Structure 1
Amino acid sequence: MTAIDVERRGTVVWIRIDRPERRNAYDLEMARAMTAAVEDAADADAVVLTGTGGAFCAGGALNRLDDPDPEALRALFTGSLRLVDAIRACPRPVIAAVDGAAAGGGNELVVACDFAIATRRSTFGQTGPRVGSAGVLGATNMLAVQIGEKRAKEMAMLCRRYTAEQALAFGLVNEVVEDGGLADAVERWITEIRALSPRYLEIAKISSNQWWHQSGDNMNAGLGMLIQAIGSEDMREGARAFLEKRAPDFRGGRRAPASPEEVRP
Structure 2
Amino acid sequence: MAVCRERSEVSAVEVEHRDASVWIRLNRPERRNAYDVEMANAMITALHGAAEADAVVITGSGGSFCAGGALGQLGDPDPARLRELFTTSLRLVDAIRACPRPVIAAVDGPAAGGGNELVVACDFAVATRRSTFGQTGPRVGSAPVLGATNLMAVQVGEKRAKEIAMLCRRYTADEALAIGLVNEVVADDELEAAVGRWLAEIHRLSPRYLEITKVSSNLWWNAAKDNMNAGLGMLIQAIGSEDMREGAQAFLEKRKPDFRGGRRAGAATDEREPS
TM range (shorter): over 0.9
State TM-score, norm by structure 2: 0.93
- Which residue of structure 2 lines up, in the alignment, with residue 197 of structure 1? 206
Q: For 1:254 and 1:70, how far apart are their aligned partners in 2?
A: 23
- Which residue of structure 2 lines up, in the alignment, with residue 151 of structure 1? 160
- Which residue of structure 1 lines up, in the alignment, with residue 5 of structure 2? none
- Which residue of structure 2 lines up, in the alignment, with residue 241 of structure 1? 250
Q: How does 1:90-101 map to 2 (within 5 A)?
A: 90-101=99-110
- Which residue of structure 1 lines up, in the alignment, with residue 58 of structure 2? 49
Q: For 1:110 and 1:148, how far apart are their aligned partners in 2?
A: 16
Counterpart residue type for residue 251 of structure 2: F
1:197-243: CA deviations, max 9, x gaps?
00000000000000000000000000000000000000000011011
Q: Does 1:163 align with 2:172?
A: yes
- Which residue of structure 2 lines up, in the alignment, with residue 176 of structure 1? 185
* Shift in Å, 1:65: 1.0
Please report the RMSD computed on the Cα atoms of aligned residues, expressed in angstroms: 1.4
Q: For 1:109 and 1:185, how far apart are their aligned partners in 2?
A: 19
State TM-score, norm by structure 1: 0.96
The DSSP-based 3-state class of the residue aligned with 1:56 is coil
Q: For 1:221 and 1:255, how far apart are their aligned partners in 2?
A: 30
Q: For 1:82 and 1:209, how far apart are their aligned partners in 2?
A: 15
Q: For 2:33 and 2:76, how far apart are their aligned partners in 1?
A: 21
Q: For 2:71 and 2:264, how far apart are their aligned partners in 1?
A: 28
Counterpart residue type for residue 169 of structure 1: A
Q: 2:30 aligns with which of 5, 21, 26?
A: 21
Counterpart residue type for residue 209 of structure 1: N
- Which residue of structure 2 lines up, in the alignment, with residue 31 of structure 1? 40
Q: For 1:55 and 1:159, how far apart are their aligned partners in 2?
A: 18
- Which residue of structure 1 lines up, in the alignment, with residue 216 of structure 2? 207
Q: Across the two proteins, how many residue pairs are aligned to each other?
A: 260
The DSSP-based 3-state class of the residue aligned with 1:95 is strand
Q: For 1:203 and 1:36, how far apart are their aligned partners in 2?
A: 22
- Which residue of structure 1 lines up, in the alignment, with residue 237 of structure 2? 228
1:7-41: CA deviations, max 9, x gaps?
00011000000000000000000000001100100
- Which residue of structure 2 lines up, in the alignment, with residue 83 of structure 1? 92
* Shift in Å, 1:66: 1.1
Q: 2:16 aligns with which of 7, 18, 21?
A: 7
- Which residue of structure 2 lines up, in the alignment, with residue 219 of structure 1? 228
- Which residue of structure 2 lines up, in the alignment, with residue 117 of structure 1? 126
Counterpart residue type for residue 172 of structure 2: T
* Shift in Å, 1:64: 2.2
Counterpart residue type for residue 167 of structure 2: L
Q: For 2:62 and 2:205, how far apart are their aligned partners in 1?
A: 33
Counterpart residue type for residue 144 of structure 1: A
The DSSP-based 3-state class of the residue aligned with 1:188 is helix
Aligned-pair identity in percent equals: 78
